[in-house]
Amino acid sequence: MPEITEGGLLGGKIRYRQFAAGHRSGFEPVLLAASVAARPRERVLEAGCGAGAALLCLGHRIPELSGLGLEIDPELTALANENFKINQLTGISSICRDVEAPGLSEVFDHIMANPPWHDANSSQSPDPLRALAHHAGPPVLANWVKSLTKHLKHRGSLTLILPAAAFSEAAGYLAGCGYGSLTLFPLWPRVDKPAKLIIISAWLGVRRPNRILPGLVLHDEAGITPAAQKILRDGGSIDIGG
């Protein structure tokens, strides 16, 4: 197995081990987990869970959470399961499986994902794990939404974190698969900068108006903003609603 580094999430509240090389977790999984409107004893699926950062954060926030991660890389799958074990999250596990593969019979109350996103203007990383996490062909987002919808309960939520440029494409795929109550939550790098990332949530079979929320400013002149620290360090939630 590749070299592993030891660290933490949520200000050290969670022990987190990840590979020294390849894709490494940033803010995205923590913010994604903070946006999922799960309740105790509900079941959550994460597509492309990597070493388990998002499920770890969600399991820390929601007591008695039942969770399953799908991860295509077997070594990352094993590492995620180690992370769940050392943090005593016995109701959460990961399996080695392609998101688009048929045959998963379970349905879930909520699904979350940070899908690979193809940007024709960006160069691909020479590291194969990093490239797999960040780049895919143009149909990948449509295929993920379609595949994941099969495993979501009626009136359940699908939450995605994506580049801002993917918003219109994602909204179209979600509407085409029967989602409503779409909510856009921008992640502003600074108050005077355009959002590079967005969180979009949608509810299957729900017909409420779509919304754009004020979003979250991540940095100011002093570093990470107090509002972002409440989520990234203290484990707070993002109220996207439904």
Residue 119 backbone zone (phi > 0: left; psi -120 to 50: alpha; other: beta):
beta
71's enclosing H/E stretch is strand 66-71
CA distance 120 to 229: 33
Residue 153, classed as helix, strand or coil, is: strand
Q: Which helix H or strand E contains 19, and what residues bound it? A: strand 14-19
Q: Give residue-wise pLDDT tens across range 39-74.
A: 999 999 999 999 999 999 999 999 999 999 999 999
Provide the pairing of β-strand 92-96 with 66-71: parallel
pLDDT tens digits, one per residue of 159-216: 999 999 999 999 999 999 999 999 999 999 999 999 999 999 999 999 999 999 999 9
Q: How many other C-beta atoms can be found within 10 angstroms of the C-beta atom of residue 188?
A: 19
- pLDDT surpassing 50 at residue 26: yes
Amino acid, res. 178? G
* CA–CA dist 68, 95 (Å, integer): 7
The pair phi, psi for residue 111, each rounded to 5°, is: -130, 140
Share of the chain above pLDDT 90, in %: 84
Which CATH code for domain 27-232? Answer: 3.40.50.150
Cα 135–chain centre separation: 16
Residue 221 binned pLDDT confidence (cut-offs 50, 70, 90)? very high
Q: Which pLDDT belongs to residue 125?
A: 46
Residue 131, pLDDT > 60, answer no
> Three-state DSSP class for 185?
strand
Q: Report pLDDT for 162.
A: 97
> Cβ atoms within 10 A of the Cβ of 175, count?
13
